[in-house]
Amino acid sequence: MADSREGVDARTPSNATFVPTTGAMRRRPSFPFGRVAAVRNLPVAIVSIHAVAGAPNQPHRRTAGSRLQGWLLADDRVKQVKEANDIVEVVGEYLSLRKAGPTYKGLCPFHDDHHPSFDVDPRRQRYRCWSCGKYGDVISFVQEHDHVGFVEALQLLARRANIELDPSGAATDFQGRARLLDVVRWAAQQFHECLLDDPSPQAEEARRYLGERGLTGETVRKYGLGYAPRSGTWLSQKAETGGVALELLEKAGLIAPREQGPGTYDRFRDRIQFPIRNPQGQTIGFGGRILPSSPLAARAPKYYNSSDTPLFIKSENLYGIDQARHAAASAGYLAVVEGYTDVLMAHQMGVVPVVATMGTALNARHVRQLRRFAPRVVLVFDADAGGDTGVDRALAIFVSQDVELAVATLPAGLDPCDLLLAQGPDAFRAVLDGAVDALEFKLTHVLAGEGRGGVTPPVQGVEGRRRAVESVLSVIAQAPALPGHAGAVKMQLLINRIAHRLALKEETVWARLDELRKQRGGATDPRSRQKPVADDAERKAPAAPEERQLLEVLLAEPDLVLVAAESLRPEEIAHPGLRLLLEGLYDLLAAGEPTDLDQLRARLDNPRLAERAMKLQEVGRGNSDRAGCLRMLLNLFEERRRRPALQELQNRLQAPSDHEAALELLRQLTTRNVVGAG
């Protein structure tokens, strides 16, 4: 996947401090989807595919969506895209997978997984979660994970494999995620080029700032750092000359409409730009640091992030994760620091499993992301910043998440970048090695407070111990408990340690915890978490076996759709989801298109239904006599059709007026050959 990192050149020696550079620009990459005019011709097609999904009760609709179908179907593009994107490779870009026999296992990204329940099967090219039941292929994985439709997922995968989906260029211009990724990448490139080459004194100042921070040219290029000029219209002017749609720039959070008067303004002004990338290495947003010398510095915040967009969520994304995740796999941990330059300096000095939050405190969503790549998270506190709230929040996460959360403390007065520059990577590694788990950290903190600096031996006196245990348990009581057996074991271990450290009986600690939980309203009962699952099950109302089997057979063998269509109408299927699938297959048949699942998914664009369909198809593939099975099923439907009449006959038989009438009714029943079948 082409991104700004590909533009790296070797002009600056890799280990030299980044020095101001001017001079000739490198090749100027053109905006990859520069045919902006084509977008305006396309909304009909975009709208229609969603309209199809949203209008299940209109059979045989033929809309402009078929235009879109046309290019999807051309040369079996879907198949081509799937073959070029191995499911293990693609899923492996989102989470860590470990080989386990013939398949690969990892933590499921679709539920709060505590043991690797997510199974990726390279032979079948399918994934399945044994815990939450998610199932599908590489396209549905991207759909589910990135919350995009079928076509967008297909586009993302096509571009990953360098497949041109539509050589005519008409249908690839989408207002979706792929377009937004393009525009953010384009902007990153503009900022980056500006930092490297702009002759203005401000850009010069930005280069000097980074050089003074000790960042090398290699780091600046590898991480695509940039500079956003002061003017306020710089980026929108670039967009206009480059043919980039302003509405996309606005959607990406880079420009905003002026509050007074017409036009837009750049949201990042006079700032060093740190592109924020997702774990796959795609730039999704920016963090900007104002130049210290800027006249804007007095009234603008020092750091500023992209607003939340469909790509970027400030409270979830982690700076440096695209690089750190690979190192985390072997290191077994990921460290969390506060600043962008802390991350960059750590990486530059070879301590790579380091990321930063976007100016927000570490939260459970961060931890769930981090745990996909490493079992241990080390939270790095400044010596003076590890106040009570920070410690308590870390403990709450430790209690409620299946994670080894450890806390490391920096020497007083130093941030990680300072420490690395002053004392080198080994000093920083020593800080990380000295991390203690969050409970230990809290206990030490509490005991130090109670013991007036005496961390060991344990606090003297009943009152001191009482206050210490209250302080720890009140945090634990408030945190949602980790569900299941793992949660129970973890809680047992925590309580055991608290009791031991505070020289209390375990039962006493448990009793006090129960009291505190009751006071908090008992919101910690793990059983309350199971409710959504039950709701989900209710929503998936059971289908009649013959209806389910029909779709199993048809989805596994597309040629049989023609046979079914000759004798069975979609209205005869009672289950709404299955009926929608059958209607879709018939629509494909009527349109002369292949009646297979990939085409059907493009048409429905409903991930939940597609998942169901794939499961049905999998079962159907295990059926060796699908044609015979279909014949039997069609007979069954034939019987169902006659059932109302049959019921009527049986009712009359129960009250016959005379013997002859009863005999006649029996004869009718027999000739219909349905006695006993109702």
Indicate the residue among 111 and 615 with the shorter CB distance to Zn ion: 111
- Return phi, psi of residue 447, to 5°: -70, -35
Question: At its nearest, how many Å lie between Zn ion and the CB of residue 95?
Answer: 11
Q: What is the C-alpha to C-alpha distance for residues 397 and 481, in angstroms, rounded to an integer? A: 10
Question: At its nearest, how many Å lie between Zn ion and the CB of residue 159?
Answer: 27
Indicate the residue among 117 and 348 with the shorter CB distance to Zn ion: 117
CA dihedral 101, 103, 107, 110 (to 10 degrees): -160
In the numeric block, which tokens belong to residue 356?
A: 């930063």
Question: At its nearest, how many Å lie between Zn ion and the CB of residue 115?
Answer: 11
Question: At its nearest, how many Å lie between Zn ion and the CB of residue 118?
Answer: 6
Indicate the residue among 133 and 310 with the shorter CB distance to Zn ion: 133
Q: How far from chain centre, in Å, is Cα 335?
A: 21
Indicate the residue among 205 and 618 with the shorter CB distance to Zn ion: 618
Indicate the residue among 132 and 669 with the shorter CB distance to Zn ion: 132
Question: At its nearest, how many Å lie between Zn ion and the CB of residue 398?
Answer: 23
Residue that has been written with the tokens 């059907």 in this structure: 600
What is the arrangement of strands in the sheet containing 318-319, beginning at the earlier edge strand? 318-319, 354-357, 333-337, 376-381, 404-409, 436-437
Q: What is the C-alpha to C-alpha distance for residues 596 and 137, in angstroms, rounded to an integer? A: 15
Q: What is the C-alpha to C-alpha distance for residues 4 and 355, in angstroms, rounded to an integer? A: 20
Indicate the residue among 208 and 529 with the shorter CB distance to Zn ion: 529
- Ramachandran sector of residue 182 (left: φ over 0; alpha: ψ -120 to 50; beta: rest): alpha
Question: At its nearest, how many Å lie between Zn ion and the CB of residue 109?
Answer: 8
Indicate the residue among 95 and 397 with the shorter CB distance to Zn ion: 95
Question: SS3 of 407, please?
Answer: strand
Question: At its nearest, how many Å lie between Zn ion and the CB of residue 131?
Answer: 5
Q: Which helix (DSSP H) or strand (DSSP E) does residue 277 occupy?
A: strand 271-277
Question: At its nearest, how many Å lie between Zn ion and the CB of residue 614?
Answer: 15
Question: At its nearest, how many Å lie between Zn ion and the CB of residue 480?
Answer: 19
Sequence length of the chain is: 678
Contact 487, 399 (CB under 8 A): no
Indicate the residue among 61 and 145 with the shorter CB distance to Zn ion: 145
Question: At its nearest, how many Å lie between Zn ion and the CB of residue 134?
Answer: 5
The residues with which 381 forms a beta bridge, in sequence order, are 409
Indicate the residue among 131 and 478 with the shorter CB distance to Zn ion: 131
Indicate the residue among 111 and 467 with the shorter CB distance to Zn ion: 111
Question: At its nearest, how many Å lie between Zn ion and the CB of residue 372?
Answer: 12
Contact 634, 666 (CB under 8 A): no
What angle (nearest 5°) sits at the alpha carbon of residue 278, between those of residues 94 and 258? 145
Indicate the residue among 128 and 177 with the shorter CB distance to Zn ion: 128
* Pairing of the two strands 376-381 and 333-337: parallel
Indicate the residue among 35 and 111 with the shorter CB distance to Zn ion: 111
Residues 6+ apart with CB under 8 A from 361: 390, 393
Question: At its nearest, how many Å lie between Zn ion and the CB of residue 91?
Answer: 13
Question: At its nearest, how many Å lie between Zn ion and the CB of residue 101?
Answer: 19
Indicate the residue among 533 and 627 with the shorter CB distance to Zn ion: 533
CA dihedral 91, 92, 95, 100 (to 10 degrees): 100
Nearest Cα to Cα of residue 65 among 42, 94, 83: 42
Assess whether the previous peptide bond of 457 is cis (omega < 30° from 0).
yes
Question: At its nearest, how many Å lie between Zn ion and the CB of residue 132?
Answer: 3
Q: What is the C-alpha to C-alpha distance for residues 56 and 61, in angstroms, rounded to an integer? A: 10
Q: What is the C-alpha to C-alpha distance for residues 286 and 300, in angstroms, rounded to an integer? A: 16
Q: What is the C-alpha to C-alpha distance for residues 631 and 327, in angstroms, rounded to an integer? A: 57
Which positions lie near Zn ion, rule CB under 5 A?
108, 110-111, 129, 131-132
Indicate the residue among 198 and 402 with the shorter CB distance to Zn ion: 402
Residues 6+ apart with CB under 8 A from 414: 382, 383, 422
Q: Enumerate the H helices of 26-137 as residue ranges.
A: 36-40, 43-53, 65-73, 77-84, 87-94
Q: What is the C-alpha to C-alpha distance for residues 252 and 328, in angstroms, rounded to an integer? A: 30
- Number of Cβ atoms within 10 Å of the Cβ of 69: 23
Residue that has been written with the tokens 């440096």 in this structure: 320
In the numeric block, which tokens belong to residue 22?
A: 């001017």
Nearest Cα to Cα of residue 310 among 140, 187, 183: 183
